[in-house]
Amino acid sequence: MRDQLQSRLEQARAAEQGIAQAALAGATVQQLAERLDRLQTLKREAAQVQIDAAQRIRAQLSAAQYAQLRQRAQASLAAAPAPAEYALLLPGHLPHLMPFVAQLGASAEHQQSLSRYADEQVRPALRPRLQQAQQLEQEIGRAVLDGRSAGELAPQLGRLAQLRREAAEIHLRCIAHVRQTLPPEQYARLVALATAKA
């Protein structure tokens, strides 16, 4: 089971890195659709392996042992990562570019255009999806600890995948907009700044 999980996670990591490189080089959401589908599948399979492992562990422990383990696991759920960590494409692989625009020395016109795009198109759409994904993943985690199977959680897992996919597409469209807005040399500097901090 550990090998299955490790394999899926390694494949997902490689898929994320490939998508990130292609997106930063100018690939569109449509061009990346098949890769995004594959990444979603890998992450869903990894989640199912983890859920199955939790059920096996529960079956092998006494009620008292499982209660202790469950209590520790629930404490770790409370210390959840930031919403960006719930994205399909993690910031470590595909950095968010907007925080670095101010460091770029771009023209006022470009800065205003990008800021307006982020304020009107990205943030209002991205944040709620990532927050919903965070909340849903935590609910799934609690349900797994309560003994629910991957099959029972299929609707929630599907919704989580949908939220992550929507967030990824918003992020990819933002990168495309930044790439189209900035001169090539500034875009290259921006990517270098963002990836150095990722």
Query: pLDDT tens digits for 93-113?
Result: 888 899 899 898 889 999 999
How high is the pLDDT of residue 73?
83
How high is the pLDDT of residue 90?
81
- Has residue 78 got a pLDDT over 70? no
Q: How many percent of the chain have pLDDT more than 70? A: 94
Instruction: Please give the tally of structural domains in the chain.
Output: 1
Structural domain harbouring 40: 2-197
- Has residue 188 got a pLDDT over 70? yes
56, two tokens: 């096996």
Mean pLDDT, the chain, whole residue set:
91
